[in-house]
Amino acid sequence: MSLSGLFAIGLSGVNANAAQLEAVSQNIANTQTNGYKRARVDFSTLVTSLTPAGGIEGGGVGATARTIFSEQGAVTRTNSTTDIAISGNGFFVVSESDEAGTPVSFTRAGSFSVRPDGTLVNEAGYFLRAAPVNNNTVSGLALGSLETVDINRTPTLAAATSELTLGGNLSANAPIGETVAQHFQVFDEDGAARTLTLTLTAAENGVYNGVLAFADGNEEILGSGSLVFNESGTIDIAASTMPISFTANSSQAIDLNISTLTSGSGATQFTASSANGAPAGTVQGVEISRDGRITATYTNGLSLDIYQLALATFSNAEGLEENTASTFRLTSAAGAPSLDIPQTGRAGAVEGSALEISTVDIGQEFSTLIETQRAYSANTRILSIADELWQTVTETAR
């Protein structure tokens, strides 16, 4: 072993332990970083050559830093519905711009928030990308087809009335010609409200004649007919001529449910009267399910699935290139990304109103820090001794 070899070995040890100190420092600094995966440095012996006697010529030590993606961070609950935690191997797909075609990156940091324009971004300003959902069908589950999540994609939502329900008792002793009316508020597909009135007039033999009409503005009759009751007082749908399905607003199909309507000796009283549908509402929030459906909620109580989260997995996640703000770029070493819906494939599940915390164990890092500090000092001592030996040799040569 030459003196230059001693210098090389000592220097390699200093550099390797410096890399370890850098990794430990990075880990400690990110103990509170959501989705952070701790870094680890692996050491390996360097061999420069074989000796004639069959031994080896030591070359020191090498160090390779890598991110440990296989470790799952603990999931903690939050009060924000746009926070998302992954339990599994998947990565969120994000981009620095909300423009289509922008290069994408991958991250485990799921602390997203809604910008004033409705797009979801994480703490570093990266936009979340997902597959659009149209009519409850996912479209474009491919990396290049993912869109920037915009909760205002459908800014207003209404529900057209499709069913009326009327239940209760019609007096079997009502004088012929006596009328009773029940009003319903119905909505068209745009959420516009109209008042629909069912007028019932007592006839002979306990029969009631009904007229269903819009009472606002010009009267528009939608249907009319008789309501006939059995001896037991229950309604005889087959014998009745009152339509139980009709069309409003030219093309709006509405069903009339009168199956619980009865006729008895008591007074006329309606115990159940309702119409489904809702006026137009605006977006007030967003919810995220465990299978990755992003659902917009509206001020009128309605909800609509607007996006499907697609998690990226890799054959070798440790081959990803580290980027800024806890994001990673695709490399050939990582392999082609595979997109999976949460709870399918290897992606894992997601949880809204939750975050995956850092995988750093602060106690372990401090222990490694102390060990590395000692190893670093010992390697600097090798350099000092090698320098002393070199000075001895040079002084002897004089």
Where is pLDDT greater, at 389 or 131? 131
CA distance 83 to 80: 6
Burial label, 26 (beta-carbon count in 10 A; 0-12, 13-18, 19+): middle
- Determine how many CB atoms are found less than 10 A away from the CB of residue 357: 17
Lowest mean pLDDT among 66-75, 210-219, 220-229: 210-219
Domain residue spans of the chain: 3-70+359-397, 75-153+286-356, 161-276
pLDDT above 60: residue 56:
no
What is the number of other CB atoms lying within 10 angstroms of the CB of residue 244? Answer: 15
With H, G, I as helix, E, B as strand and everything else as coil, classify residue 214. Answer: strand
Query: What phi and psi values does residue 208 have, to the nearest 5 degrees?
Result: -120, 135
pLDDT band at 352 (very low <50, low <70, confident <90, very high): very high
The answer to whether 311 touches 339, Cβ cutoff 8 Å, is yes
> What pLDDT was estimated at residue 217?
66
Band of pLDDT at residue 49, cut at 50, 70 and 90 = low
- pLDDT > 90: what percent of the chain? 69
pLDDT tens-place string over residues 167-179: 999 999 999 999 9
**pTM (2 decimals)?**
0.77
Whether residue 17 contacts residue 25, with contact meaning beta carbons closer than 8 Å, is answered with no
pLDDT at 116 over 70: yes
* CATH numeric code, 161-276: 2.60.98.20
C-alpha to C-alpha distances, 61 to 13, 58, 178, nearest whole angstrom: 6, 9, 102
| Mean pLDDT estimate for the chain | 90
